[in-house]
Amino acid sequence: MRITLIIPVYNEAGTIDQCLANLEALEGEAELLFADGGSTDGTLEKLAGYHVLRCPKGRARQMNQAARQAEGDVLWFSHCDSLLPRDGLRQIREAADRGARFGCFHIGFDRPGLLMGCNAALSNLRVRLWRIAFGDQGMFMTRELFHEAGGFPELPLMEDYEFSRRMRRAGVSLRLLPGRIITSGRRYRRPLAAMWQMFHLRCLYRAGVDIEEIARRYRDVR
């Protein structure tokens, strides 16, 4: 079983070195695709020698384009500022061998503190109770399922949230793997305010508020 690891990037010169060091430490073999949305800050120079796809900007579009060119039986999506568990490939293979079609990892944050710990715990609980995963939890799925679903909806944000909701409506189980991804807390400079705002934006999305308006509010939050 071959796995393709897809990482969308855009102006990640400040995080790409740590990302590459983490990828070099992964155990096992995988196809690695970087989907670049038009970086201008030196990201591409640091990715010299890697398989980089030039894509229209937009995380969903970037991931979808990479997925169309992927050769793996399983697609694993991650973020440039997330650190993957060393044995993540093995965990995915074992889960897929047991019939998992869609899954993710536990999440932790690189910022210390009680609030960030609570945020991680709530994120992991959300997977168990509501079967909703986000991109920084390292979502993976079979290539067959991904294409059956039509890929990620090409929204300016919340493409991962909407994909999870569609999988839940379709009755697809979400497998939570034991490994932990450590992701950047850079958007949580004020943890409580950011957690509340993210919850509020999801509520607006479910209520049918225009996604462009939600995207504007998200940029204001960040």
pLDDT (tens digit, 9 = 90+) per residue, 49-106? 999 999 999 999 999 999 999 999 999 999 999 999 999 999 999 999 999 999 999 9
Angle value at C-alpha 190, between 187 and 195, nearest 5 degrees: 70
E strands along the chain, which residues?
A: 3-9, 31-36, 52-54, 74-77, 82-83, 102-109, 140-142, 175-183
Q: How far apart are CA 207 and CA 197, in angstroms?
A: 15
Q: Domain coordinates of the chain in residue numbers?
A: 3-186, 187-222
What is the mean predicted confidence (pLDDT) over 176-181?
97
Token pair 């074992």: residue = 94
Residue 213 CA to residue 129 CA, distance in Å, equals 29
Examine the pLDDT at 25 and tell me if it is beyond 50. Answer: yes
Taking the C-alpha atoms of residue 221 and residue 219, their distance in angstroms, rounded to an integer, is 5
Bridge partners, 54 (sequence order): 36
pLDDT given at position 222: 36
Token code pair at residue 10: 């855009």
CA distances from 34 to 19, 38, 51, 215 (A): 11, 12, 6, 24
| Alpha carbon distance 7, 65 (integer Å) | 11
The pLDDT value recorded for residue 191 is 67
Choose the most confident range, by mean pLDDT, from 112-121, 161-170, 197-206.
161-170
Distances 44 to 13, 17, 52, 54 between C-alpha atoms, Å: 8, 12, 8, 10
**For 201-218, how does the pLDDT look when each residue is reduced to its tens digit (9 = 90+)?**
888 888 988 898 888 877
User: If we measure between CA atoms, which residue out of 98, 99, 169 comes closest to residue 131?
Assistant: 169
Q: Which superfamily is assigned to 3-186 in CATH?
A: Spore Coat Polysaccharide Biosynthesis Protein SpsA; Chain A (3.90.550.10)
Measure the CA angle with vertex 177, ends 164 and 131; round to 5°: 25
> 8 with 66: CB under 8 angstroms?
yes
Residue type, 219: R
Distance from C-alpha of 123 to C-alpha of 142, rounded to nearest angstrom: 23
Residue 110: Cβ-neighbour burial (10 angstroms; 0-12, 13-18, 19+): middle
